[in-house]
Amino acid sequence: MIEKPKFDLEERTQVFSENLIKMCKLIPRNNVSDPIVNQLIRSGTSIGANYSEANGAASKKDFKSKITISKKEARELTLIFSTIALNTK
């Protein structure tokens, strides 16, 4: 029997993406929030996609490149969440 890793990042990033989309559906849409929500969804869902791609990488260089993209998108999410918090009244 194959034991599942304790921290299954593919599953966790998938669940994160699903929860992020659900949360975004709750945000009131207007001219200010629309571009922020769209970027949030793109960045949030790409973390898991790039992580999955990294796991299938053909080389260490390819793996590092895709992991770096995931890290960049995660950092971008922090900026987007901060903007949403500042603009929420």
Distance CA 85, CA 87 (A): 6
Alpha helices in the chain, H assignment, sequence order: 9-26, 33-55, 60-87
DSSP string, 47-63: HHHHHHHHHT-SSHHHH
pTM equals 0.72
Q: Which domains does the chain have, with CATH numbers?
A: 11-19+31-87 (1.20.1440.60)
pLDDT in tens, the chain (89 residues): 666 656 688 888 899 999 999 999 999 999 999 999 999 899 889 999 998 999 899 999 999 999 999 888 888 888 877 887 888 77
Nearest to 39 by CA among 65, 76, 6: 76
How many residues can be counted in the chain? Answer: 89
